[in-house]
Amino acid sequence: MIARPKGLKVEKKFLRNGWRENFHRCGFAIATEDEKLLIRKGFTNFKSFYRALREFDGLPAIIHMRWANRGVISHENTHPFYISENLVFAHNGTIPILPSDKEKSDTVTFNEEILQELYKEDKNFLKNRGKRWLIANSIGHSKLVFMNNKGEQTIINKGLGEEFEGVWYSNDDYKKFPVVSKTVVTTIRNGKVISNTTPINSPSKQLAIRS
């Protein structure tokens, strides 16, 4: 699951890595310039998914690749989901809730039984710290990303994921294959700087090598 803010980009290789690890259909939600929310989902191959996503480059997005734990593999169980026309969300993990219908996923059930009911009572429930706390404690180690029609994103259990170049990822599937870092290695010989190089696949820090 990926939360992409406005103006930022998710590299194709990161999306492909996520797809390779989670291929039970995928989808995305977009907040448009005229403050509308669009969901496109049910993609069964990476090529069609990526082509569709590219149409919305630069716009705020929630991107999700599903690995089915509960519920059937279907369009209806594919993320993201509408809570209302002005609020969408996606989920990563397993929510400790028992669906009344075995065809439905835990996420669909959580949306219908909890999130939509919260929204009916308070359209701004995500701005309430107590309600965010209750949601976090009801989903265990799962993670949720919400986005409203203005492109504002709220992440529940954000610390359980990781951020890379301004984009939030719910786990490290996106870097299944090595990621190019921004490490600068300075080579020093006899007290003089000989070269500055950027090696591949190193932790993000500066190293000084003396020779």
Question: What is the model's pLDDT at position 147?
Answer: 98
3-state class of 202 per DSSP? coil
Residues paired with 2 in a beta bridge: 63, 169
Report, as an integer, the average pLDDT of 152-177.
92
3-state class of 193 per DSSP? strand
Q: What integer best gives the mean pLDDT of the chain?
A: 85
Question: What is the model's pLDDT at position 41?
Answer: 96
Domains with residue ranges and CATH for the chain: 2-175 (3.60.20.10), 180-211 (no CATH)
Buried b (16+ CB within 10 A) or exposed e, 64-92: bbbeeebbeeeeebbbbbebeebbbbbbb
Report, as an integer, the average pLDDT of 165-172.
94
pLDDT, one tens digit per residue, over 119-161 is 999 999 999 999 999 999 999 999 999 999 999 999 999 999 9
The answer to whether the predicted template modeling score (pTM) of the entire model surpasses 0.85 is no
As a whole number of angstroms, the distance between CA 26 and CA 129 comes to 30
Q: Tell me whether residue 53 is exposed, middle or buried, using C-beta atoms within 10 angstroms of its C-beta: 0 to 12, 13 to 18, 19 or more.
A: buried
Q: Collect all residues with Cβ–Cβ distance below 8 Å to 67 and sequence separation of at least 6.
A: 21, 22, 23, 24
As a whole number of angstroms, the distance between CA 84 and CA 119 comes to 8
As a whole number of angstroms, the distance between CA 150 and CA 207 comes to 42
Residue 118 has pLDDT above 80, yes or no: yes
pLDDT, one tens digit per residue, over 39-88 is 999 999 999 999 999 999 999 999 999 888 777 888 899 999 999 999 99
How would DSSP label each residue in 21-55?
A: H--S-EEEEEE-TTS-EEEEEEE-SHHHHHHHHHT
Side chain identity, residue 109: T
Read off the pLDDT band of 190 (50, 70, 90). low
Question: What is the model's pLDDT at position 23?
Answer: 81
Side chain identity, residue 59: L
- Enter the tokens of residue 35: 């403050």
